[in-house]
Structure formats: C-alpha cells, structure tokens
C-alpha cells in the first residue's frame, strides 16, 4: 500500500501535516491529536494474474484528548479518503472507502481517545 500518497491526500484536505500530525505505521507519544495510517499485517495480496492490480486495506487511527474532536477528525478523514478513479503518486485508485463505521477504543493510559476504521482500497500501481 502506498501510505505516503494517502497521507499526502489527508494533508491536502487540511487534516494535518505529515510528520507532525499525520503518521505512517508508528505515532510518537508527543502529539495530542493526530492520524495514524497502518499497513495491514501480512501486507497487500498480489494477484499474479493481474500484474500491478492490488486489492488491499489499511487501518486508520485518530487520537485526541477530546472524544468529540477525535470523532469529528476521523469522520472528516473518511470523507477525504472516499475516492474513486483518482491518480495519486505511484498509484491509480479505482475505489477507496471505509469498510465500517469508526469505533472508539477505551481511553488509553495516556488519557487519549482513539477511534479506528479499516479502509479498503482497489488500485493499480503506476
């Protein structure tokens, strides 16, 4: 999955800044509010019959100290990532959309509220 391209899409939608409040695969403890994109465990399957075509998913987690703020941010991120037939750096996205409604985790030991959602993506590597 080309998570850098997806992070850039979130930044373009003014939902954060890559490396400051939008992160890939690991989020430092310091930011109070942010978005984390995580590659699926096991990677994205390869269909050798359709070279370059991928059908995968990734996890998006939003963190904040405020429940409503976290919920608002994840819903805005879902809207920004609901795309069809759009070219991003390194990939042409056929469809990208949430698999389910976002759901919250219990408040973390650091007193953070976190919401998560799985995003499905069909794309062609370019």
Q: What is the distance between the alpha carbons of residues 55 and 68, in angstroms, rounded to a whole number?
A: 32
Which H or E element spans position 72?
helix 67-81
Structural domains of the chain, count? 1
Q: 34 is in which domain, residue-wise?
A: 3-125
Instruction: Tell me what pLDDT residue 74 has.
Output: 98
Instruction: Tell me what pLDDT residue 108 has.
Output: 83
Nearby residues of 113 by Cβ (< 8 Å), 6 or more positions away: 63, 64, 65, 66, 67, 70, 104, 105, 107
Q: What is the distance between the alpha carbons of residues 35 and 76, in angstroms, rounded to a whole number?
A: 11
Instruction: Write the pLDDT tens digit of every residue in 39-90.
Output: 988 888 888 998 899 999 999 999 999 999 999 999 999 999 999 999 999 9
| pTM for this prediction | 0.94
Instruction: Tell me what pLDDT residue 47 has.
Output: 87
Instruction: Write the pLDDT tens digit of every residue in 96-106.
Output: 999 999 999 98
Instruction: Write the pLDDT tens digit of every residue in 105-118.
Output: 988 878 899 999 99
Closest CA to 6 of 78, 69, 55, 71: 78
Instruction: Tell me what pLDDT residue 86 has.
Output: 97
User: Domain containing 112 — which CATH number?
Assistant: 3.30.2000.10
50 or 10: which leads in pLDDT: 10
Which H or E element spans position 76?
helix 67-81
Instruction: Tell me what pLDDT residue 97 has.
Output: 98
Q: What is the distance between the alpha carbons of residues 6 and 87, in angstroms, rounded to a whole number?
A: 11
Nearby residues of 124 by Cβ (< 8 Å), 6 or more positions away: 52, 53, 54, 91, 92, 94
């Amino acid at each position: 999955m080309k998570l850098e391209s997806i992070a850039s899409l979130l930044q373009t939608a003014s939902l954060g800044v890559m490396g400051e409040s939008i992160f890939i695969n690991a989020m430092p403890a310091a930011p109070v509010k942010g978005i984390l994109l995580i590659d699926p465990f096991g990677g994205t399957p390869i269909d050798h019959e359709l070279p370059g075509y991928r059908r995968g998913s990734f996890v998006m987690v939003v963190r904040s100290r405020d429940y409503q703020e976290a919920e608002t941010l994840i819903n805005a991120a879902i809207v920004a990532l609901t795309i069809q037939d759009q070219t991003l750096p390194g990939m042409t996205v056929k469809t990208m959309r949430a698999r389910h409604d976002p759901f919250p985790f219990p408040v973390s030991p650091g007193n953070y509220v976190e919401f998560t959602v799985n995003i499905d993506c069909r794309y062609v590597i370019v």
